[in-house]
Amino acid sequence: MQYGPDPSSIYPNENIKSICYIKNLITRPNIIVGDYTYYDDINGAERFEEHVTHHYEFIGDKLIIGKFCAIAKGIEFVMNGANHRMCSVTTYPFNIMGHGWEKATPTLGDLPFKGDTVVGNDVWIGQNVTVMPGVHIGDGAIVAANSVVTKDIPAYHIAGGNPVRITKKRFDDDLIDYLLKLKWWDWPARKIFDNLEVLCSGNLSRIKETNYEKSIVKEKFS
């Protein structure tokens, strides 16, 4: 029996060609994506990598996206290669224009570097969102459409705007802590299948019926 779509497929539902599992389309070594994370774009979900801009291997930054994320069309991940030298009189990138201006090529140490961009697991990103370099978006977070994400978003928080601001927590602290320990996205396919009703229930207390501690022990020694 099959317990859900094949995580190694490009189209999880062959009848919906606007949704692709990103992991199976990545060609760049500096982009890492978890299972079941999808990009939804009727104009070409297969071209997700085109939405990761200014991303150069020699800079060394990575885009890391977890499992079970839902990313809507119009996303842009702006990476560290977009940065200009700011410690000098001008920010103009003379060197990339050539014709002798190469002598003004900055060293990597002259350029701002924000580190890796990291998106956690089970994150929902709305349409036309821009994520700036080095941002960390926590597990279970929601980013509203048309937002510009300039700072970190904590796990299970909702954020939106330009620049982005935190609007509220999705759940109380006890439930957030429980979910971060539960890590349902790491469950095997059968266990997710068996708990779909709980995971999708509006009765949030039902999730504690899964009892993650006993589940971990059982799976470890089974």
What is the DSSP secondary-structure string of 113-171? ----EEE-SS-EE-TT-EE-TT-EE-TT-EE-TT-EE-S-B-TTEEEETTTTEEEEESS
* Domains present along the chain, CATH in parentheses: 19-171 (2.160.10.10)
Q: Where does the pLDDT of residue 122 fall: very low under 50, low under 70, confident under 90, or very high at 90 and above?
A: very high
Lowest-confidence range among 32-36, 94-98, 117-121, 175-179?
94-98
Contact 78, 130 (CB under 8 A): yes
pLDDT digits (tens, 9 = 90+) for 7-45: 999 999 989 999 999 999 999 999 999 999 999 999 999
Does residue 52 surpass a pLDDT of 60?
yes
- The model's pTM: 0.89
Bridge partners of 149? Answer: 131
Which pLDDT belongs to residue 101? 86
Sorted by sequence, the CB contacts under 8 Å of residue 47 that are 6+ apart come out as: 41
Whether residue 99 lies in the annotated active site: no
> How far is the CA of 27 from the CAs of 46, 49, 162, 174, in angstroms?
12, 8, 31, 40
- Cα-based torsion angle of the residue sequence 27, 30, 35, 41 in order, rounded to the nearest 10 degrees: -60
Q: Would you call 193 helix, strand, or coil by DSSP?
A: helix
Residue type, 64: I
Q: Which of 51, 84, 99, 136 is catalytic?
A: 84
Token duo for residue 151: 């700072």
